[in-house]
Structure 1
Amino acid sequence: MAKVATDFMKRHNWTFETPLSELAQYTEEINKSLRDDCKEQVEVLIPIRPTGNREEGRDTVDKIAQGIVDNDYSSEKIKQISYDLGSSAPNPVAGRSRLTLLRKKLQDRGADHLKKEATKIPHITTEANKIQARRLVLDEDEGVDWPEHFLLEPVQERLEKCDFSLLPSKEDLVDVMIMLSMRPADVATLRIDKYEASDEIWYDPKYSWYCTGYSKTKEETGVGEPRPFLSMEKDPIRAREFLTWIQKAIPEKFTFLRKNKSGIVNVNLINLVLAKHGITSNKLRKIGADHASRIHRGKNDSRRQRLRKLACRQVVGRDESVQHYGIMNDPPSCNYLKETGDRAKIKEKMD
């Protein structure tokens, strides 16, 4: 094990200053070298750590929530704890996310309504909303330019070449995550199934295939109500084959996709693959949603926004985060742009 690591470092002249984008080029090579080693040894050489940075000396949100419940703190005490937690974040958006996570952890532990309400710090929420609103305006004005590697046609071409008889690579995993607009936490549990007509409020007669097992669900079962299936891959059976292909490989190749005791999926290995493209795993779902809206040919902005929500398994009609994703700009070779140019030339001739 140590020899493998040392050889790689010497051969490629790696130092602590070597950028992630360069390291990412050797992911598959080092994986092959370590393939015969046991899992425990590999994790010693390349330790898997939870995502995100935490200030030295600060308890985890999970531990803070446990302390609140165990000690039955008063609302005033909880509010002070929440203020310290949110204010110590690098920015109000991160602070709001911490407080949201704290409420979720309290809910998981059966905390009462007053305890959860005491975690709300209005000025942090207000500032975070202002920042998000400014970002939304900027995204609407300028759009988003994703790496060429993840434009619609290249992703489709790579998916067409996938061989289900072979184990998927991390690159295959990334493309399937884009195709199904998945968070890393969705991969292990997402299900795509056909449903019969139902009187349930979630049922939409326009759809017969639905998704369950998505990560953001408030139900105790963790399954969530069925949400209509919509993705880059129009054929739900084919889409399910891709999903099953990836899920079957989790025990052998993608163990990092399993949630830890805190319910967190480690995304470091995915981000290492994506580093050379300058993005992280939280962008994949956004790219996939935009691709799905293009493939399903939304006729106007409202329709395209609805398609993006469906692709992300969000409730249509509710103000959801997909509105803050920003829209991918058309590449220069986009057919839509070509058609627009052709129409302009025709108009010139007519004039």
Structure 2
Amino acid sequence: SDTTLEGETIKQTAQHIMKDKLGEKDVKTISRTLVETSFDAVVALSRLSRLRRELQPLNASEKIISATLNPEVTRLFNKVQKEHSEQRENEGIDFPEHFSLESVKERLDEYDVSNISDKQALADVMIMLCIRLAKIKNLRISNGAVTGYAKNRGQQDIPRVFRLLEKNGERAKQLLTWIQDNICSG
């Protein structure tokens, strides 16, 4: 089958994959084409991630979604990110350790959801969900995905899976409910 991406958006490509019931081999070819036509590893990883996000609501199988993974691109992306981080440090732009994802994750693991949350807990949950305060009240977690969150205006409210949910869905649900309850109670 024809697996070229000429003129197709990533959304159209995902629809094409599902409509034509393409197999893993074809999806890997499409993914490889996305990588090869990308300016750099950052763009390549972004395109592959977008393809996965577009395939999920179309009920693509785990095998099809996994066929879009490219460990080499991920490795190159991580290398670029590390170089950028080192460059920021060399330029005097240094983010305190307190704000690193590792530090945030450690604090999230330690929060006792039976106590009242503080501003730091709210900030940590917002960092892990990459969301603004105004949006956090409307979020709902069910079946390992979040609803009530749209990055762009007018965007369809499709369930999204955040990294925190992938790792520990029950804990993420506890943290989100805890924060929402505390916001609502004043």
Q: TM-score normalized by structure 2?
A: 0.54
Instruction: Give the SS at the match of 1:123.
Output: helix
User: Larger Cα Rg: Structure 1 or Structure 2?
Assistant: 1
CA apart distance, 1:118: 0.2
Q: Is 1:122–2:71 an aligned residue pair?
A: yes
User: Of 115, 140, 149, which residue of structure 2 is paired with 1:205?
Assistant: 115
User: Of 30, 43, 59, which residue of structure 2 is paired with 1:81?
Assistant: 30
**For the residues of structure 2 that align with 1:88 and 1:262, how far apart are their CA atoms?**
30
CA apart distance, 1:142: 2.1
Is contact 2:27–2:68 with CA below 8 Å preserved after alignment? Answer: yes
Is contact 2:149–2:157 with CA below 8 Å preserved after alignment? Answer: no
Alignment of 1:1-351 (within 5 A): 57-144=6-93, 203=113, 205-207=115-117, 211-213=136-138, 219=145, 221-223=147-149, 258-260=153-155
In the alignment of these two chains, the number of paired residues is: 122
Structure 1 residues 204 and 125, CA gap change in structure 2 (3 angstroms): farther
Greater relative contact order (Cα < 8 A, sep 6+):
1
CA apart distance, 1:140: 2.5
Structure 1 residues 133 and 71, CA gap change in structure 2 (3 angstroms): same
**Gap regions ≥5 residues in structure 2:** 95-110, 123-135, 168-186
Structure 1 residues 69 and 260, CA gap change in structure 2 (3 angstroms): same
**For the residues of structure 1 that align with 2:92 and 2:64, how far apart are their CA atoms?**
40
Aligned-residue RMSD, C-alpha? 3.6
Structure 1 residues 204 and 134, CA gap change in structure 2 (3 angstroms): farther
CA apart distance, 1:128: 1.3
Structure 1 residues 139 and 78, CA gap change in structure 2 (3 angstroms): same
Structure 1 residues 208 and 137, CA gap change in structure 2 (3 angstroms): closer
Is contact 1:62–1:105 with CA below 8 Å preserved after alignment? Answer: yes
2:175 alignment partner in structure 1: none
CA apart distance, 1:89: 1.3
1:161 alignment partner in structure 2: none
| Aligned AA (2:38) | A
**For the residues of structure 1 that align with 2:13 and 2:66, how far apart are their CA atoms?**
15
Is contact 1:212–1:223 with CA below 8 Å preserved after alignment? Answer: no
Instruction: Give the SS at the match of 1:111.
Output: coil
Is contact 2:148–2:157 with CA below 8 Å preserved after alignment? Answer: no
Q: TM-score normalized by structure 1?
A: 0.30
| Aligned AA (2:74) | T
Instruction: Give the SS at the match of 2:147.
Output: coil
| Aligned AA (1:100) | S
**Gap regions ≥5 residues in structure 1:** 1-55, 146-200, 225-256, 264-313, 319-351
| Aligned AA (2:86) | V
